[in-house]
Structure 1
């Protein structure tokens, strides 16, 4: 999924579940920032203090840097949560190990991830971790059938649109983009070969996967299920009855999926923000925005820098840094990653550390 759903829609669901405007804004920002936190390593302060942040994403189109993109410690815990074949801990899907790594919607592993998040909701970074968990959870619907490693299971062939017609334009875009980088193949990492098809809320499509299986996808239907399950997750977090989304809100969200039918995620995001500002969802009009990097961003607020990539030699340390959204996000991301890789996945016989 892309920024329209990870930010705009996530804010709507958080508000509908019962979070305040301020809480929903943190959750939604953290959810989207998972896709934008691409820097990693230590930063240093002029007073001698230091802090280590982690990357929760790589730049998806930088395929020249394939070694980084193959880093399971980023793609597996933050984007392609293994599904263990949809089976609980202690059971194994038939086939080889890769079957355990393929993403499955609302899997037992995803539910364990949510339980761990809720168990530590009183941490200072509790809402930031919930945002990260939200991103990973709804991506189990968008990324279903794909794995966060470079493997033939991710191969995509015979892509057809909702009318059963080959997506010739897509095929041409793929071959044109990669022709100067790869002579024989497109990297089989995640859903790279399917480009943005798995992320588009209005898309109905089909393809043949690397196992020779025909896969039919209706993103609108799948994503609507994901939104309802995310609402239940938020209600559980708030310790209230898990009723999911009210029917009228479910309808409005589904209408946005189909009405906002451009392929540009940023364009769809703008429409979500306009809908929120115009109170389309009957949650109270609110002017929501999102700044990934640069002036006004969480990083700028925490460190005083407007650099998008790289770092200053040293930063001026302030007491506010310790309670900044940027630091809390990275605190939460480190805890999330550790929990997934070291605690949850080993219970399913999955070792990616």
Structure 2
């Protein structure tokens, strides 16, 4: 999923679930920032203080994508939550270990349920909302990234891609160019990581498509249907967070909100910025039960961004030798709390949530 869903739809659903605008913005910003937090390492301050941050995404052409440990620490906990084949803790799906790592929609994913419980348990911490936004990114991605795994494995291969949206021959050419470029970058064969070979097809809300995976299985995907389900289930998770009870009986989206979101998912094409503006216009026009309001601006990097407000830098990438001016407000900044949430989420997923399923990922 892209900016339009991870930010705009997440904000709208949070408001419909009952969060106030300030809390909804933190959740939505955190959900989208998972894709934009690409810097890692130690932050040094001019008074001698230090802060260790982590990254939750790598750009496509990043050497870290070809280090297995880096993949396990980034792609598995933040983008391709393992589904354990739909089996509960203590049980194994049929097949080899890779079947445990393949991402599955949260409607059939006990791991996703445990992830939600873990995030709700942290709701009273300073970074509670930030962590929950991170969790919402991972949660809805279980629908978009289903069938793929956050490791380099043949199961992620994509062949015989078909869709009514893009001519197959043109897409085949784009995929071949992508693989050639990736092979030149790595100096060898391009490893199948995540949904890289499917390009952005899993993230386009209107797309209906199919492909044959690395196991020779025909996979048919209906993004509008899956994304609509993700929005409804995300609303339920949000209502449980507000209740402080991962088992609370909740209703999710109202039928009217669900229908409006489903309709927009089907008709909105264009690029992610255009689609985000369309969601903002719908919100401003009062088309959802939360009422008419403006969609807050999302600034990933640069002036006005969380990073800029916390560290005083407008740079998109850090060299690693910067020394930033320290201010006491840093400890309460959204940027710092977001990175606290990243670290808490990753630790819990890798060390508490996955091991009962027999998954040792890092």
Q: TM-score range by the shorter chain?
A: over 0.9
Partner Cα distance (2:152, 2:43) in 1: 31
Query: Which residue in the other structure is 2:335 paired with?
Result: 326
The question of whether the paired residues in 1 share the 8 Å contact of 2:61 and 2:182 is answered with no
Normalised by the length of structure 2, the TM-score is: 0.93
Query: Which residue in the other structure is 1:210 paired with?
Result: 214
Q: CA deviation at 1:116?
A: 0.6
Partner Cα distance (1:6, 1:67) in 2: 26
Give the alignment partner of residue 257 of structure 2, picking from 246, 249, 257: 249
Q: CA deviation at 1:352?
A: 1.1
What SS is found at the alignment partner of 1:205? strand
Partner Cα distance (1:269, 1:333) in 2: 25
What SS is found at the alignment partner of 1:138? helix
Confirm or deny that 1:18 pairs with 2:22. Answer: no
Query: Which residue in the other structure is 2:163 paired with?
Result: 161
Give the alignment partner of residue 223 of structure 1, picking from 218, 222, 227: 227
Q: 1:250 and 1:227, CA in 2 relative to 1: closer, same or farther beyond 3 A?
A: same
Confirm or deny that 1:176 pairs with 2:189. Answer: no
Partner Cα distance (2:20, 2:223) in 1: 29
Q: 1:334 and 1:180, CA in 2 relative to 1: closer, same or farther beyond 3 A?
A: closer
Taking only aligned residues, the RMSD between alpha carbons, in angstroms, comes to: 1.7
What SS is found at the alignment partner of 1:238? helix
Partner Cα distance (2:170, 2:273) in 1: 21
The question of whether the paired residues in 2 share the 8 Å contact of 1:187 and 1:193 is answered with no
Partner Cα distance (2:95, 2:249) in 1: 39
Partner Cα distance (2:181, 2:46) in 1: 44
Q: CA deviation at 1:181?
A: 4.1
The question of whether the paired residues in 2 share the 8 Å contact of 1:279 and 1:286 is answered with no
Partner Cα distance (1:5, 1:287) in 2: 13
Q: How does 1:1-353 map to 2 (within 5 A)?
A: 1-59=1-59, 61-62=60-61, 66-68=65-67, 71-106=71-106, 107-162=109-164, 167-182=168-183, 185-239=189-243, 241-262=249-270, 264-283=271-290, 284-310=292-318, 313-353=322-362
Moved more, 84-93 or 231-240: 231-240
Normalised by the length of structure 1, the TM-score is: 0.95
Q: Deviations over 1:280-325 (max 9, x none)?
A: 2242322421000000000001111111100562111111101000
- Unmatched segments (≥5 aa) in structure 2: none
* Alignment length (residue pairs): 350
What SS is found at the alignment partner of 1:135? helix
Q: 1:24 and 1:196, CA in 2 relative to 1: closer, same or farther beyond 3 A?
A: same
The question of whether the paired residues in 2 share the 8 Å contact of 1:58 and 1:68 is answered with no
Partner Cα distance (1:334, 1:211) in 2: 34
Q: 1:171 and 1:57, CA in 2 relative to 1: closer, same or farther beyond 3 A?
A: same
Which consecutive segments of 4 or more residues in structure 1 shift more than 3 A? 63-66, 183-186
Partner Cα distance (2:149, 2:181) in 1: 25
Partner Cα distance (1:11, 1:250) in 2: 14
The question of whether the paired residues in 1 share the 8 Å contact of 2:77 and 2:349 is answered with yes
